[in-house]
Amino acid sequence: MCGIIGYKGSKDASGIVRKALEKLEYRGYDSAGIATVGNPSLKIEKGEGTIEDVLDTDIEEKLDGKTGIGHTRWATHGEVNDTNAHPHVGKDEHVAVVHNGIINNHEEIKQELDVEMKSDTDTEVIPHLIERELEKENDLKEVCENVMDRIEGSYAVLASLNTGEMLAMKQGSPLVVSETDGEIFLRKRFRVQGDRLGRRRSLKTGLQPLHGERDL
């Protein structure tokens, strides 16, 4: 059981994501992490421990950017350590991913990818798959479809690209999107955040490329 959150808008993402993760810590307190899109690279802070232990309250000074994803983990694949904490990145560090669920065929995909994995998690295959598809395909919808065709299991995935786009994919796991005043929030369930959230809906099984303030 894990908690995931995504934000894209006009404000600094890391502080918003951290506050949201605090409300999700009941879903996992083994480790925590945040990735934001700086200019032009991904910036990541993660590690073993509680949100308070890992993510300083002045996180905005370390992780700038208006797009961010976050994760609080209850370990299912791999032991509890800094390396296995989310977010995970691909070999080129162009994609960061947080994930809730199980990828049943991750060992098979690891052999297929033939890249060095840094963690023991099933999640790490996802950013590698996304990077591989981005090398072949510019259409983000096609990228997501190809990745989802390859992975098996029940999952909710949020991915940040170093170009500023955010991707959301789900299969058999809840994922809710909300937008208000040019801001987009994604998470498993919206029990928190209060009046800040505007129109919201559950994503259908499948994918959703998120480009800036695009209508959902």
Task: Work out the pLDDT band at 77, boundaries 50, 70, 90.
Answer: low
Task: Work out the pLDDT band at 88, boundaries 50, 70, 90.
Answer: very high
**What pLDDT, in 10s, does the model give residues 187-216?**
865 444 443 444 445 555 555 555 433 333
Mean pLDDT of the chain: 85
**What pLDDT, in 10s, does the model give residues 93-144?**
999 999 999 999 999 999 999 899 999 999 999 999 999 999 998 899 999 9
Cα four-point dihedral sign 25, 57, 66, 92:
negative
What is the residue type of 216?
A: L
> Phi then psi for 136, rounded to 5 degrees?
-105, -20
Predicted pLDDT of residue 201:
55
More confident residue, 171 or 192: 171
Tokens of 11: 């404000």
Predicted pLDDT of residue 177:
87
> Phi then psi for 146, rounded to 5 degrees?
-65, -40
Predicted pLDDT of residue 195:
39
> Phi then psi for 3, rounded to 5 degrees?
-115, 135
H or E segment at 4?
Answer: strand 3-8
Predicted pLDDT of residue 78:
63
> Mean of the pLDDT values across residues 58-85?
86
Q: Output the 3-class SS for 142-160.
A: HHHHHHHHHCCEEEEEEEE
Select the CATH number that applies to the domain covering 3-210 from these four: 3.60.150.10, 1.20.140.160, 3.60.20.10, 3.60.21.70: 3.60.20.10
Q: Where are the domains of the chain?
A: 3-210
pLDDT > 60? residue 157 = yes
